[in-house]
């Protein structure tokens, strides 16, 4: 969410940014919110003038009563009562206008970083760099669920009967591999100086409003019926919510946190065959990275975060690339974002396994997260998030890139301690 003062003073910049995001239907909102802001400030000014007069008039009443000028005192009292009524009207109007302004401001997108490529949707995202050599073996690689079935490692049919489409049972070595990737991700991030956190898996509506756009919420969040609670779609939501209305001592920054959580998502819409199995699901687990920092440090942290994900996947012999998200593919709160995509030798292309985002002060403004500097002045923090690893989707890349012709799967050295020393997974059939 932008500062209303910035919108008021820079309407052309705000409108140009909206055009870059191909959200022209939001252009009228800029003029509308500026007009509402004028009304608020006018009401506030009139209210301040009435408050300033109140003490003067009260003193007049006391003086007149002492002088025995009762009629004049009653006249001034009537004026005080009229002013009080008007003040109440102004305060109600001001609150109503501020509510309208906030609703609109939540819809106006954040100002994107100048380095973001301009494009309408994800088809215009730009490849930045590749890490590791993509390999296509000389044997056929089955669909990921078929690989898992050879290990008696997945049961989608039973999960469908129990919970519906988009759920799964993982068993045996596949389930162990799933947990191993998360545990390794946890220790990988701790080794890079991040503090491990397990957050709440549900959040209240005020936190939802603070961490994401309305479009994202509608497409992602599950609401708990009858309660002001939502299941989280990623631990970023409750991790950033942890600092709601907080003032953080600047000396404690940056806060570098890595969190584990299950994640729940609606995943609306029809999906093709490549998004079946455990690719696009309603429930998964994730090891996340969260940073709260000073504004001047946020871009440095952005680059550190996505590199952590690249290093994690390369340590497991999985080739990856980074893809810069274009303007039209950025959620409204983000100023810059990139996806980390893993190589799929079966599909002979890359697919998304993680996303890194810099949200500047957008979440901090919505949630009132401030920093107190050494000079005593307060300012809004910057927040960032990034995926370290999110199985079971990540297992698709792992299984395909470590599969052997005989159906066995190599376990890279980094993961072997988490698999009981196992060097290779051998299929049961």
Residue 246: count of CB within 10 angstroms of its CB? 14
CB 335, CB 111: distance < 8 Å = yes
Q: How far apart are CA 217 and CA 36, in angstroms?
A: 26
Preceding omega of 392 cis (within 30 degrees of 0): yes
| The pLDDT value given to residue 272 | 59
Strands, sheet with 230-231, edge to edge from the N-terminal-most edge strand = 202-203, 230-231, 222-223
Write down the pLDDT at residue 336: 98
254 cis-preceded (ω within 30 degrees of 0) = yes
**pLDDT value at position 87?**
85
Q: What is the DSSP letter of 135?
A: -
pLDDT at 275 over 80: no
pLDDT at 55 over 80: no
pLDDT at 190: 98
For 27-63, letters b (16+ CB in 10 Å) and e give eebbeebbebbeebeebbebbeebeeeeeeeeebbee
Q: Are 118 and 18 in contact (CB under 8 A)?
A: no
Specify the pLDDT at position 51.
Answer: 82
The predicted-structure confidence for 88-138, as pLDDT tens digits, reads as follows 889 999 999 999 999 999 999 999 999 999 999 999 999 999 999 999 999
Architecture (CATH level 2) of domain 122-425: 2-Layer Sandwich (3.30)
- Identify the band that residue 379 occupies on the pLDDT scale cut at 50, 70 and 90: very high
Structure tokens, 242: 């942890």
Helices 172-190, 298-314: axis angle to 10 degrees equals 140
Per-residue burial over 127-146, b = 16 or more CB atoms within 10 Å of its CB, e = otherwise: eeeebbebeeeeeebebbbe
- Is there a contact between 174 and 160 (Cβ–Cβ < 8 Å)? no
pLDDT score of 360 more than 60: yes
- Other beta carbons within 10 angstroms of residue 376's beta carbon come to 6
Note the pLDDT of residue 49.
86
For the chain, percent of residues with pLDDT exceeding 90: 83
pTM score: 0.90
321-340: pLDDT as tens digits: 999 999 999 999 999 999 99
What proportion of the chain, given as a percentage, has pLDDT over 70?
95
* Tokens coding 68: 């025995």
Q: Which band of pLDDT confidence, cut at 50, 70 and 90, is reported for residue 413?
A: very high
Instruction: Please tell me the least confidently modeled range out of 69-73, 333-337, 409-413.
Output: 69-73
pLDDT value at residue 267: 80
Overall residue count recorded for the chain in this entry:
429
**pLDDT confidence tier of residue 79, bands split at 50, 70 and 90:** confident
Burial readout 213-236 (b: 16 or more C-beta within 10 A, e: otherwise): beeebeebbbeeeeeebbbbbbbb
**Residue 399's pLDDT is what?**
98
Residue 139: its pLDDT value, please? 96
Count of CA atoms in the C-beta half-sphere (13 A) of 155: 9
Q: Which residue matches tokens 């001047």?
A: 296
Report the pLDDT value the prediction gives residue 61, as an integer from 0 to 100.
65
Cβ distance 387 to 235 under 8 Å?
no
Higher pLDDT, 321 or 52: 321
pLDDT band at 268 (very low <50, low <70, confident <90, very high): low
DSSP symbols for 58-96 = HHHHHHHHHTT-HHHHHHHHHHHHHHHHHHHHHHHHHHH
- What is the CATH topology of the domain spanning 4-105? Helix Hairpins (1.10.287)
Q: Are 235 and 285 in contact (CB under 8 A)?
A: no
Sequence spans of domains, the chain: 4-105, 122-425
pLDDT, one tens digit per residue, over 141-190 is: 999 999 999 999 999 999 999 999 999 999 999 999 999 999 999 999 99
pLDDT for 269: 58
* Rounded Cα–Cα distance for residues 40 and 50 (Å): 15
Q: Are 58 and 80 in contact (CB under 8 A)?
A: yes
Write down the pLDDT at residue 424: 97
Residues ≥6 apart with Cβ < 8 Å to 276: 145
- Is residue 260 scored above 60 in pLDDT? yes
- Over residues 48-53, the mean pLDDT reads 82
Distances in whole angstroms, Cα of residue 6 to Cα of each of 3, 33, 107, 334: 5, 12, 15, 17
pLDDT above 80 (res 85) = yes
Higher pLDDT, 33 or 269: 33
The mean of the pLDDT values for the chain is: 93
Is 144:399 a contact under the CB 8 Å cutoff?
Answer: yes
């Amino acid at each position: 969410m932008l500062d209303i003062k910035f919108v008021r003073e820079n309407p052309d910049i705000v409108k140009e940014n909206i055009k870059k995001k191909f959200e022209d239907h939001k252009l009228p909102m800029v003029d509308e919110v500026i007009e509402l802001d004028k009304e608020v400030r006018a009401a506030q000014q009139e209210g301040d003038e009435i408050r300033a007069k109140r003490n003067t008039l009260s003193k007049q009443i006391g003086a007149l009563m002492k002088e025995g000028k009762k009629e004049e005192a009653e006249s001034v009292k009537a004026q005080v009562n009229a002013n009080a009524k008007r003040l109440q009207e102004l305060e109600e109007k001001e609150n109503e206008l501020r509510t309208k302004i906030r609703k609109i401001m939540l819809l106006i997108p954040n100002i994107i970083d100048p380095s973001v490529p301009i494009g309408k949707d994800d088809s215009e995202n730009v490849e930045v760099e590749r890490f590791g050599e993509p390999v296509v073996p000389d044997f056929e690689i089955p669909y990921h669920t078929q690989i898992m079935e050879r290990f008696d490692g997945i049961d989608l049919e039973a999960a469908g009967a129990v919970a519906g489409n988009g759920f799964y049972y993982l068993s045996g070595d596949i389930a162990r591999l799933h947990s191993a990737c998360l545990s390794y991700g946890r220790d990988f991030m701790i080794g890079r100086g991040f503090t491990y956190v397990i957050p709440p898996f549900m959040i209240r509506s005020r936190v939802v409003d603070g961490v994401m756009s309305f479009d994202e919420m509608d497409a992602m969040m599950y609401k708990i019926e009858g309660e002001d609670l939502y299941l989280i779609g990623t631990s970023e939501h409750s991790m950033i919510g942890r600092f709601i209305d907080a003032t953080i001592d600047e000396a404690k920054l940056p806060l570098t946190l890595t969190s584990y959580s299950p994640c729940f998502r609606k995943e609306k819409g029809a999906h093709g065959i490549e998004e079946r199995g455990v690719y696009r699901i309603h429930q998964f687990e994730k090891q996340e990275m969260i940073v709260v920092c000073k504004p001047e440090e946020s871009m440095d942290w952005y680059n550190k975060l996505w590199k952590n994900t690249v290093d994690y996947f390369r340590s497991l012999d999985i080739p990856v690339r980074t893809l810069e998200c274009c303007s039209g593919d950025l959620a409204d709160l983000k100023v810059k974002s990139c996806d980390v995509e893993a190589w799929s030798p079966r599909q002979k292309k890359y697919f998304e396994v993680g996303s890194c985002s810099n949200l500047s002060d957008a979440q901090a403004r919505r949630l009132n997260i401030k920093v107190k500097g050494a000079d005593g002045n307060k300012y809004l923090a910057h927040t960032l998030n990034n995926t370290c690893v999110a199985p079971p989707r990540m297992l698709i890349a792992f299984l395909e890139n470590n599969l052997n012709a005989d159906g066995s799967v190599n376990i890279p050295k980094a993961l072997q301690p988490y698999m009981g020393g196992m060097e290779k997974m051998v299929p049961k059939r």
